[in-house]
């Protein structure tokens, strides 16, 4: 039998390689440029991945023919492209670095971030994560930064607890603006002064700004009552009560506190067990000893309040 050799041009690509996935694929149409071109090339690379990397579900969908099946296939390819890009670029979370978190719980923060070690950074929305973090009760401001290839930095600026406030039958932790941060249900902040009285929260910032100049007084402060919506009574750890003046143009807490500091240094008035120091008048100081005011031992004034 005579065999007539065929010309090279008569040989098909399948016959030359034995498979469409060989080294001599049919020429692909030129992909569009820009982002769509990148996506098309990424999809082609994903199709060429070993089936084991795509998964059995993807392989099954790839065998189905039809419009609905094609939509499912492209959805699987989209997920595969994300995983492929993350793997090839190394955009997988290896480290999450958090700074500034003192009172914010780790679990709450991770839930709000929506990211953990091993997750893909492809498609991660840092802005949405920041918004969720700022909704946590202790967080005042936050920033979330992706540090490619594999790190996320989270910086938190928390509210600074100033005092505890008795309100609505509960005790709340407040900041310098009088805003309620959290309810102190488990007495987690026993060292913070306790505030009472209508308007106490709104006026606390000014009082503590003045007390900050006299740390020897602030360190012994136990409670502060806002009286008559115009002035403060301060109760110290010894039980002594200091009556501060109503604020006027000439005289107020700002002038009375330096005088109290001098009295404490000279006469240790804050050690008077349940005594009173009346600073309401600008031209005199009235000291009342415990036997003069008929005081009883100091009790916990928060008893009976809801946790």
- Sorted by where each starts, the structural domains of the chain and their CATH numbers stand as 32-89 (no CATH), 95-158 (3.10.20.310), 163-293 (3.40.50)
Instruction: Give the pLDDT confidence of 88-139 residue by residue, as tens digits.
Output: 555 899 999 999 999 999 999 999 999 999 999 888 999 999 999 999 999 9
Position 290 scores a pLDDT of 76
Q: How far apart are the C-alpha atoms of 71 and 280, rounded to whole Å?
A: 80
Position 17 scores a pLDDT of 33
DSSP conformation letters of 247-286: P-SS-SHHHHHHHHHHHHHHH-GGGSTT-EEE--STT--E
Position 50 scores a pLDDT of 40
Position 225 scores a pLDDT of 98
Q: How far apart are the C-alpha atoms of 238 and 222, rounded to whole Å?
A: 9
**CA 270 distance to own-chain centroid:** 40
Residues in the chain with pLDDT values less than 70: 1-90, 292-307
**CA 85 distance to own-chain centroid:** 30
Q: pTM for the whole thing? A: 0.66
Place of tokens 């996935």: 21
Position 274 scores a pLDDT of 80
The residues, any chain, with a CB within 8 Å of residue 2's CB and separated by 6 or more, are none
Position 83 scores a pLDDT of 52
DSSP conformation letters of 98-124: EES-SSS-HHHHHHHHT--TT-B-TT-
Q: How far apart are the C-alpha atoms of 77 and 40, rounded to whole Å?
A: 11
């Amino acid at each position: 039998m005579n065999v007539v050799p065929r010309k090279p041009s008569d040989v098909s690509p399948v016959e030359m390689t034995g498979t469409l996935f060989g080294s001599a694929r049919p020429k692909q149409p030129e992909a569009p440029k820009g982002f769509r071109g990148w996506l098309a090339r990424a999809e082609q690379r994903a199709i060429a991945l070993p089936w084991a990397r795509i998964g059995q579900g993807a392989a099954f969908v790839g065998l189905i023919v039809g419009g609905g099946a094609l939509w499912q296939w492209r959805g699987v390819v989209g997920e595969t492209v994300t995983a492929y890009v993350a793997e090839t670029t190394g955009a997988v979370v290896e480290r999450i670095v958090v700074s500034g978190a003192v009172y914010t719980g780790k679990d709450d923060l991770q839930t709000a971030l929506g990211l953990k070690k091993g997750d893909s950074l492809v498609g991660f929305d840092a802005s949405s994560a920041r918004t969720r973090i700022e909704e946590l009760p202790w967080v005042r401001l936050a920033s979330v930064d992706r540090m490619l290839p594999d790190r996320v930095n989270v910086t938190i600026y928390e509210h600074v607890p100033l005092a505890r406030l008795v309100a609505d039958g509960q005790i709340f932790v407040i900041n310098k603006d009088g805003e309620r941060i959290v309810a102190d249900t488990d007495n987690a902040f026993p060292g913070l002064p306790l505030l009472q009285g209508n308007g106490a929260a709104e006026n606390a910032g000014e009082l503590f700004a003045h007390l900050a100049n006299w740390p020897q007084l602030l360190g012994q402060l136990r409670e502060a009552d806002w009286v008559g919506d115009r002035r403060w009574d301060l109760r110290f750890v010894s039980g002594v009560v200091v009556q501060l003046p109503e604020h006027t143009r000439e005289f107020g807490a700002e002038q009375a506190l330096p005088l109290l500091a001098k009295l404490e240094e000279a006469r240790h008035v804050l050690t008077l067990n349940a005594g009173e120091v009346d600073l309401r008048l600008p031209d005199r100081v009235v000291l009342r000893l415990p036997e003069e005011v008929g005081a009883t031992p100091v009790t916990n004034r928060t008893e009976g309040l809801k946790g």
